[in-house]
Amino acid sequence: MAPVPADPVVTRLCRLCERAVTSLPAAGAGLSVVAEDNQFSLLAAADAASERLEELQFVLGEGPCVDAAAARRPVLVADLGRDGPQRWPVYAGTMRAAGIGAIFAIPLQVGAAQLGVLDLFRTEPGSLSGPELGRAFALADEAVAILLDDRARGDGEPASGTAMAGPVELFQAQGMAVLGVERDKASDAWEAAMTTVSAERLSKIFVEVADTLVDDFDLQDFLHMLTVRTAGLVGASAVGLLLADGRGQLRFMAASDERARILEIFQVQASEGPCHDAFRSGEPVLNADLRDAVERWPDFTRHALAAGFRSVHAFPMRVRREVIGALNVFGSAVGGNFDEADVQIVQALTDVAAIALLQERAIRRGELLTEQLQGALNSRILIEQAKGAIAQAHGISVDQAFAALRGHARSANRKLTDVAQEVLSNPDSLTVLTQH
Which residues touch 377 (CB under 8 Å, ≥6 apart)? 243, 245, 251, 253
What's the pLDDT score for residue 29? Answer: 95
**Domain 369-433 falls in which CATH fold?**
Arc Repressor Mutant, subunit A (1.10.10)
Choose the weakest-confidence range: 94-98, 185-189, 321-325.
185-189
Query: What is d(CA 146, CA 178) in angstroms, rounded to the nearest whole number?
Result: 10
**What residues pair up with 40 in beta bridges, in sequence order?**
34
Query: What is d(CA 142, CA 138) in angstroms, rounded to the nearest whole number?
Result: 6
Could you tell me the strand order of the sheet in which 113-122 lies?
40-45, 28-34, 113-122, 102-110, 75-77
- 179 SS3 class: coil
What's the pLDDT score for residue 185? Answer: 29
Could you tell me the strand order of the sheet in which 250-255 lies?
250-255, 238-244, 322-331, 311-319, 285-289
- 29 SS3 class: strand
CA 95 to chain centroid, in Å, comes to 32
What is the average pLDDT value for the chain, to the nearest integer? 76
What's the pLDDT score for residue 73? Answer: 83
Tell me: pLDDT of 46 over 90: yes
Maximum distance among all alpha carbons in the chain? 69
Q: How confident is the model at residue 381 (pLDDT cuts 50, 70, 90)?
A: confident
Q: Architecture of 188-365 per CATH?
A: 2-Layer Sandwich (3.30)
Q: Which of 78, 99, 110 is nearest to 210 (CA)?
A: 110
Positive or negative: CA dihedral 87, 93, 95, 100: positive
The burial of 247, by beta-carbon neighbours within 10 Å (0-12 exposed, 13-18 middle, 19 or more buried), is given as exposed
Choose the weakest-confidence range: 140-144, 194-198, 298-302.
194-198
Q: Domain ranges in the chain?
A: 8-171, 188-365, 369-433
Residue-wise pLDDT tens digits, 414-424: 888 888 888 88
Tell me: pLDDT of 294 over 80: yes
Could you tell me which CATH number the domain at 8-171 has?
3.30.450.40
Quick check: do 8-171 and 188-365 share a fold?
yes
